[in-house]
Amino acid sequence: MGVKAGVAPERCLKWCRRRLWEGMLSRDTSEDGFSRQFDRVTFALKLARKDLGLATEVGRELNVPMPLASLVEQDFLAALARGLGEKDSPSR
């Protein structure tokens, strides 16, 4: 999607490496994630849904299929409907 929006491929790759591999995956989330404790909020689910919604909106504008992002967005919406918007997001 980034390349289609005019971002250089190298910059997209650099961002993915930094955010995904160094950021999310290197954090010790085992205690909270595996114990299913979401009360220690570092990034509220309602904010993650907003960000994901912005990404899927851009994907639609650029005609970029984003089936997994759309599926996750629907899952987040279901969680919001259950009143979980202030709980921690699994996307941190």
Q: How does pLDDT run across 23-37, given as a tens digit for each residue?
A: 555 555 555 555 566
pLDDT digits over 53-77, tens only?
999 999 999 999 999 999 999 999 9
Q: Report the candidate in 47, 53, 46, 52 with the shortest Cα–Cα distance to residue 83.
A: 46
- Would you give the distance in Å from CA 16 to the centre of its chain? 12
Mean pLDDT score across all residues of the chain: 82
Residue 15 has a pLDDT of 84
Using the predicted structure, report yes or no on whether residue 41 has a pLDDT greater than 90. Answer: no
Which residue intervals of the chain are DSSP H helices?
9-16, 30-35, 45-61, 67-81
**pLDDT bracket for residue 80 (50, 70, 90):** very high
